[in-house]
Structure 1
Amino acid sequence: MTNNYSGKMLLSGVLLFFSTYARAQQAFTLKEAVDYAVKNHINVKNAQTDIHSASARVNEIKAIGLPQINGNVGYTNNLIIQRVFIPAKTFDPSASESDVVAAEFGVRNSGTAGVSLNQILFDGSYTLGLKAADVYRELSQKSLTQTKQQVAENVTKAYYSILVNEERVKLLNLNIGRIDSLYRETKRLNEQGFAEKLDVQRIEVQENNLKIELKNVNRLQELSYYLLKFQMGMKTEESIALTDKMESIKIADFLPQIDQNYKYTDRIEYSLLQTQDRLGQLDVKNQKVGYLPKVSLNAAYNYGTGRPQFGDLFTKPWFNSASVGFSIQIPIFDGFSKKFKIIQSENALQKIKQNMNLLENTIDFQVKQGQITLKNAFETLQEQKANMDLAKEVVRVTKIKYEQGVGSNLEVVNAESSYKESQTNYFSTLYNVLIAKVDLDKALGKLYND
């Protein structure tokens, strides 16, 4: 019984461990990493909050056109009642012509209660405000898309950086293994008197340099993972793994994209300017309709009373009153205020149109730059790959010559140094190709779409 219970507890513990580990470490493809980021990054969440605020702003503007109803309750205590001077003969025919009576005009306590209504019948600014509100909401939606694209760009570059570093780590480990083998062999030859101590020291220095470089790359890789998690909106203490590998990326497929056609409207920045242009046009119209009259309907229903004693307000009758009417506000002269507001709005609209022309030129340049950069990086990568393969072959041949006694240790060390340098150049160019691809996709407006 006890053994059975212990077995169940052990099994539960093992399952709990693996389930916790599975939750702790998440694996992501590049697409999954981007999708995670556009859902969890703080900048995206803030942009989504801005959309909710824009929606509330739209509803606020619409509410202005609905009936505005207000209630009111008031109480007044006339501490010193105003007096009205009336000829005394009005009340006493025998009184002198010069005598007056200072009669109190009003009562000490008065109360009012009522409700009022105001309804816009015509206001040009309100009508245009409704149109502008919808455009403003569209602008916030496009701002969200722009934020997502920026997040996708940062995540993609960070992801590629890790993949390239992984390949560097693999090759460095192979280099260290090969140099270590050469070091042990040379040391054995030195002990037998067939190699100088200097030969051993040269190889030892090279092996130490490779180990130092490996440590640096591993630290850089650790930092790259932190950067990726930051760009994804994850906490740095969370553990992640990348399921995409460098060999799964077909670099040759990048070339056909160099000659892609593009449209300015594919760029979210251009689309944002188009929306701002519509808002600018509405703003100009809004300033101009300020010259039109405004018409509104108003109505009121009230109860009121006045009594000498405060308690009478609650025991004596109140009297009702009602009114209905409309008002027309006609602008006549405002010191040319509207005129100058219109000039400012027209200038702001002109700047937007000029910025659109500037952005068109910028997009043309960025696309051409991206195409040339990617093509150059791709061709350089092919050359660096051939150079690296050649350096690898030189290492192989010089090592064989050294083992057969027809080559020097210095030749082997120099060949290894050249091979390592060619590897560094290759991976640097490989990263440049990947980043050039991301930059070109961004210039074409194809980096990320909802």
Structure 2
Amino acid sequence: MILCTLLWHLPGRLFAQEAIRLTLEESIRYALENNVEAKNAQLEVLISKGTIGEQRAQGLPQISSTLEFTKNLQPPLLILPAEAGDFIGGGGNGDPGGPPANDQPSDISVLPFAVNYQSSLTSTVEQMIFNGSYFVGLKAARTLKQLTDFDKEKAEIDVIENVKKAYYTVLVNEERKGLIESNLRRLKQLLDETTAMYEAGFAEKLDISRIKVQYNNVSTEFDRLISAIEVSKQLLKLQLGVPFEYEVFLEESLDNMALEDGAVYSLLEGEISNRVEINQLEKNIELATLDLKNNQVQYIPNVTAFGTFQRVTGAQDFRNVYQADRWFSSSFAGVRMSIPIFDGFRKSYAIQQNRVQIRQLENLKFNTEQSIKVEALQSKQNLMNAIRALEVQRENRELASEVFNMTKIKYQEGVGSNFELVEADAALKEAETNYYSALYDALVAQVEVEKSLGILK
């Protein structure tokens, strides 16, 4: 019974999980959380935070420890004059590490310099006291974090733009689908009426053929549109970050997206407020300046404090190496100053490159500012033209609908021709298609103006 109950409810639950209904605002929020580009930009921010921590860690104490064990297969030897060797009391004597006594020259003594087994435990501590590159690098890491924040903002703006355009594309295709379906119904009704009139002797075979050709053409267009709708939905899912197997349903219609006169006027009168591209370039200039400072401070000496503590042991027999009474300690501490003297003018050439790079970035910033102004002007002109075209197409749709209705009445009353009715139907379909295309162009132009002004959200 439990298994049957699960099988009964499972398909419905799976379908519910795989169907997503979204408004435009919900689509944007969903994309900002699930779009691959947006997620990668968020991950870059996390990486930059790690970079700051990594740079900061270089200024903290650096502690390391080493445990070492050595078996001297051939212990190092110390060569002394023969008198010194006799005084010390060495010189071969069958030591496995040194040469036999009878093989030694008479004027020298060869003494083993190490035991068979050695071991040591060493701990080292270093603390940076002054390093100009460290402080510059720390500031550069913070600047990089700010740059990645702007990169994330830029990625989100691109995602919003792409989602809006993809959403509008699906809406236009859905509206065109509804228009073509209405057109097919009109043509089917007209075909049936004309066929009845032909059978009654009030119409010609040519009238039926003319309508049939128009009907077939619209049917073919409908099939192509179904494929276009599927492709546009898949593109929208790609922008949203929705898995391929999920189904997306749009909760809004294209008519709800109509532009308000006040909103259009405010856009056309709006000024460029904040473009993230300029912020990105400013941070890149700041990073290049910090790189210049980093190369300059390398002329300054670096100061480091260090200390080492070591415990060593040794024995001729491995069993005795780690006995407690064989461990001996040594330690030392000091301050190290590294003074750069001459590097073949490497730093000088690097500084020259930094200065040129800064000039390049400044030129790029100036050119980008000019391009943004042109982009804003052009997008406003495109929006104005799109609004005018939308008004014209709206009027054309109303006129075409009026013409079709009057032509249909005339045809039904026997004072109009079949050819006129087919032409009026084709003109109505074209006017309706042109209207929604113009509405799409106006909505896209609005998005481009908002982006050019830095207010897209």
**TM-score where L is the length of structure 1:** 0.90
Q: 2-side partners of 1:276 and 1:363: how far apart? A: 18
The residue number in structure 1 matching 2:144 is: 136
DSSP-derived class of the 1:262 partner: coil
Q: 2-side partners of 1:305 and 1:16: how far apart? A: 71
The C-alpha deviation readout for 1:408-432, integer Å capped at 9, x for no partner, is 2222222222222222322221211
Quickly say closer, same or farther: Cα 1:89–1:58, change in 2 above 3 A: closer
The residue number in structure 1 matching 2:224 is: 216
The C-alpha deviation readout for 1:81-127, integer Å capped at 9, x for no partner, is 413222438848xxxxx963404052333333221111110000001
User: Which runs of no fewer than 5 residues in structure 1 stay unpaired?
Assistant: 93-97
The residue number in structure 2 matching 1:95 is: none
Residue 18 (structure 2) pairs with residue 24 (structure 1) = yes
The residue number in structure 1 matching 2:81 is: 86
The 8 Å contact of residues 37 and 233 in structure 1, kept in 2 or not, is answered as yes
Q: 1-side partners of 2:83 and 2:329: how far apart? A: 34
Offset at 1:263?
A: 3.5
The 8 Å contact of residues 303 and 321 in structure 1, kept in 2 or not, is answered as yes
Offset at 1:14?
A: 7.4
Quickly say closer, same or farther: Cα 1:411–1:91, change in 2 above 3 A: closer
Q: Which of 309, 315, 318 is the matching residue for 2:327?
A: 318
Q: 2-side partners of 1:86 and 1:306: how far apart? A: 27
Mean CA deviation greater in 224-233 or 253-262: 253-262
Residue 365 (structure 2) pairs with residue 370 (structure 1) = no
2:109 maps to a residue whose letter is A
Q: 2-side partners of 1:368 and 1:124: how far apart? A: 47
Residue 267 (structure 2) pairs with residue 277 (structure 1) = no
Q: 2-side partners of 1:78 and 1:100: how far apart? A: 26
User: Which runs of no fewer than 5 residues in structure 2 stay unpaired?
Assistant: 88-104
The residue number in structure 2 matching 1:267 is: 275
Q: Which of 227, 235, 241 is the matching residue for 1:233?
A: 241
Alignment size in residue pairs? 435
Mean CA deviation greater in 224-233 or 251-260: 251-260
The residue number in structure 2 matching 1:42 is: 36
Q: 2-side partners of 1:278 and 1:154: how far apart? A: 30
1:82 maps to a residue whose letter is L
Quickly say closer, same or farther: Cα 1:222–1:78, change in 2 above 3 A: closer
The residue number in structure 2 matching 1:354 is: 363
Residue 300 (structure 2) pairs with residue 292 (structure 1) = yes
Offset at 1:319?
A: 2.1
The C-alpha deviation readout for 1:183-230, integer Å capped at 9, x for no partner, is 211111111111111011111111222222222222211221111111
The 8 Å contact of residues 67 and 119 in structure 1, kept in 2 or not, is answered as yes
Residue 431 (structure 2) pairs with residue 436 (structure 1) = no
| Percent of aligned positions that are identical | 34
Quickly say closer, same or farther: Cα 1:397–1:263, change in 2 above 3 A: closer
The residue number in structure 1 matching 2:93 is: none
Quickly say closer, same or farther: Cα 1:165–1:102, change in 2 above 3 A: same
DSSP-derived class of the 1:195 partner: coil
The C-alpha deviation readout for 1:300-341, integer Å capped at 9, x for no partner, is 111224444444433352221111110111111111000011
The 8 Å contact of residues 150 and 276 in structure 2, kept in 1 or not, is answered as yes
Quickly say closer, same or farther: Cα 1:14–1:386, change in 2 above 3 A: farther
The 8 Å contact of residues 179 and 429 in structure 2, kept in 1 or not, is answered as no
The 8 Å contact of residues 84 and 109 in structure 2, kept in 1 or not, is answered as no
The residue number in structure 2 matching 1:62 is: 56
1:222 maps to a residue whose letter is E
